[in-house]
Amino acid sequence: MPELIRANEPFRFYTKLHLTELTGLRAATLNQLLILIKEVPGSCIYHHTHRFLQQHEYLSPEPPNDFAYWVSEVLGEDRLGERLSSIDTIQFVAIRSLRDKLIATIDDYLKNDPLSRLKFAREGEEFHFIKSVSFVFATNYIAYDLREFREALERITLDSLYFHIFDARLRLEHGFNDFSNWLKNSTGDRELAARLSRLDPYTYTLEELRKTIIEIIDERISSSHG
Amino acid sequence: MAKIEEYAPIVGESIIDDLKLLADKLKGKVIQNINSTAVGGGVAEILSRMIPLLKELGVDARWDLIKGGEQFFEVTKKFHNALHGSPCEITSGDFAIFMEQSQRNIDEAVIYGDVVFVHDPQPVALINKKTDNKWIWRCHIDISSPNHKVWGFLRDFVVKYDAAVFSAPNFSQHLPIRQFLISPSIDPLSDKNIELPQETIDAVLKKYNLRKDKPIITQISRFDRLKDPLGVIESYLLVKKYIDCQLILAGGTAADDPEGIKVFEEVKDRAKQNPDIHILLLSHNNIEVNALQRASDVIVQKSIREGFGLTVSEALWKAKPVVASNVGGIPLQIKHKYSGLLCHSVEGAAFAIKQLLHNPEYAKRLGQNGREHIRNNFLLTRHLREYMLLFLSLYHNEDIVYL
């Protein structure tokens, strides 16, 4: 029975936790929202798109992002709300391109529907720009081979899974995730690396994603023993 | 008191592991919490659960109280109402009383924390004792539209802190210091939230002469004008025209709230003609609060202002459909039509209650969504994590911190 490949470098699972910082910036109209989306730090755009998804993952039906929710529910601009909802947030591999897409969508709407400039949020319902301060640190989970990797995957938090799959795209600014990178570069298992890369993580909840990756790895472990 | 490992079945073992890792990074730091009351109200309740758990995780967290007599607390209650935006007369005598007692507290307080974590306005002036340690002011109050005289007075103290923490985004103010958003939390293992056997619930219903065959609408809150108990009665009476139901208004009063009994009497007086309205003064009987929430068909939180409105989280954790005002921290807990219904008026609340009573399947879905939202965002373990991150953030200025 062939042994599982032992990696040159172990995979160390990290996690990323967030603290929310208030910027004091607020918008009461679409125009103000647009101006601030252009100006705020990237960590603000990150917060209102990515963090929103993590916080609301379990709601059904799932609300899309903070901007879409506010535009629809507070300003009553359903058409723009729908367009902002349909931006596939986490397909963007850089915050700046996601920001550009948000700007273009709102800009276009304002040009075609000038009356929407007149809508105001009621007092207390303004859009508040907030940002994520992120803390990245190593967890106690380390894997030298596929079996250890699988065992750790079962135990890590969803924050950790998110960091290695979704955040990796933003961090590395390419379509790969940390798991595929490690499998390819440290264990030489290009086939499994490619399989995990092809997985479309956006169509799963994080818990389902964990389960699916574990199943793929289980198949790989049993085939290497077969 | 529950041990940290007991939360693992609810939130997952690895979440607890993260807390241990963070606690480890705070080794050697003493966190000194300071507030004004050991019992009653949300702050004392949260601290009484947080401190033992932080200690168990290995963080040297401690809790001290400031002193203050009746006069001082009357003034701070006025401050509290004024910060919430209620009309009230604050005199120079009030500020003098505040300063006099604050000076005594400054003289007597022993400050030993590496991080001094001051809760709410009562102890805010202690900042005058700051040396080279870190100070955080934790505001649990809705100060989105404060009385400017009172806020201006307190602001002079707040700007001397290293950071301020608010419970909702619209509470933040123009301040030259960093401001963080940390929501409070509920403890799923406390008497107020733990699962209860049906017999316990039935016994509480029996004790208060509540019927099981009529829908129950409940608001749990201190007897305080800002919780609008009279408005809840008005909403109930609009619903009652169409649906034969019962209303429970239940809660206690806090040690630092001298106005509570007066409001209780007014509410009782308003309800006395209607045998289906039950006004219950429960002094810190959390099992009974829990049972009443679990026995309810709809839970209401019709506050005019709200520090955060943890009773909403308590209700959602029990998977109950909730109708609540769109104020303070409530919109963080309820996404309208996803995890509850938000309202702005007596009539709006009545309409939402009717919708839920007439559509039990819809009500159930909102409640279930609500429970998962609370599990992810408003349980004590998330709160512990954010407090530890907050303490760590005092030593870092960047947006991405590699620990």
Please answer whether residues A130 and A21 qualify as being in contact, where contact means their C-beta atoms are separated by less than 8 angstroms: yes
Closest Cα in chain A, distance from residue B334 (Å) = 11
| B238 vs B302: CA distance, rounded Å | 15
| B142 vs B306: CA distance, rounded Å | 6
Closest Cα in chain A, distance from residue B342 (Å) = 11
Judging contacts by C-beta atoms under 8 Å, the chain B residues touching residue A133 are: 389, 393, 399-401
pLDDT of residue A1: 39
Judging contacts by C-beta atoms under 8 Å, the chain A residues touching residue B336 are: 73
| B331 vs B232: CA distance, rounded Å | 19
Mean pLDDT of chain A: 87
Judging contacts by C-beta atoms under 8 Å, the chain B residues touching residue A17 are: 18, 22, 385, 389
Cβ A58–B402 below 8 Å, yes or no? no
pLDDT of residue B26: 96
DSSP3 helix / strand / coil % (chain A, rounded to 5): 60, 15, 25
Q: What is the pTM of this model?
A: 0.86
Q: Which fold has domain B198-377?
A: Rossmann fold (3.40.50)
Find the radius of gyration of the CA atoms of chain A.
21
Residue of B166, B335, B393 with shortest CB distance to A19:
B393
- Count Cβ atoms within 10 A of the Cβ of residue B171 and give its class: 0-12 exposed, 13-18 middle, 19 or more buried: buried
Pairing assessment for the beta strands B298-301 and B246-251 based on DSSP bridges: unpaired
Domain B4-185+379-393 top-level CATH class: alpha beta
| B40 vs B363: CA distance, rounded Å | 31
Residue of B144, B178, B401 with shortest CB distance to A135:
B401
Judging contacts by C-beta atoms under 8 Å, the chain A residues touching residue B335 are: 56, 59, 63, 69
pLDDT of residue A76: 92
List per-residue pLDDT tens for chain B, 403 residues long. Answer: 789 999 999 998 889 999 999 999 999 999 999 999 888 767 888 899 899 999 999 999 999 999 988 999 999 999 998 998 888 889 999 999 999 999 999 999 999 999 999 999 999 999 999 999 999 999 988 888 899 999 999 999 999 999 999 988 888 888 999 999 999 899 999 999 999 999 999 999 999 999 999 999 999 998 989 899 999 999 999 999 999 999 999 987 665 567 888 899 999 999 988 999 999 988 778 899 999 999 999 999 999 988 788 899 999 999 999 999 998 889 889 988 889 999 999 999 999 999 999 999 999 999 999 998 999 899 999 999 999 999 999 999 888 899 8
Closest Cα in chain A, distance from residue B280 (Å) = 32
| A174 vs B293: CA distance, rounded Å | 49
Cβ B389–A19 below 8 Å, yes or no? yes
Band (pLDDT 50/70/90 cuts) for residue A56 is low
pLDDT tens for B337-372 read 889 999 999 999 999 999 999 999 999 999 999 998
Determine the straight-line distance between the first and last CA of chain A, rounded to whole angstroms.
Answer: 7
Determine the straight-line distance between the first and last CA of chain B, rounded to whole angstroms.
Answer: 31
Band (pLDDT 50/70/90 cuts) for residue A59 is low
pLDDT tens for B55-98 read 999 999 999 999 988 999 999 999 998 998 888 889 999 999 99
| B334 vs B322: CA distance, rounded Å | 8
Check pLDDT > 50 for residue A200: yes
Report the percentage of chain B scoring pLDDT > 90.
Answer: 76
Cβ A24–B179 below 8 Å, yes or no? yes
Closest Cα in chain A, distance from residue B199 (Å) = 32
Q: Mutating which of A25, A55, A58 best tests the B interface, going by the most B Cβ atoms within 10 A?
A: A58
DSSP A121: P
Q: In chain A, which residue's Cα lies nearest the Cα of B181?
A: A20
Token code pair at residue B30: 């003493």
Helix (H) or strand (E) holding B208: none
Domain ranges of chain B: 4-185+379-393, 198-377
- Count Cβ atoms within 10 A of the Cβ of residue B286 and give its class: 0-12 exposed, 13-18 middle, 19 or more buried: middle
Residue A130 φ/ψ, nearest 5 degrees: -130, 160
Helix (H) or strand (E) holding B269: helix B260-271
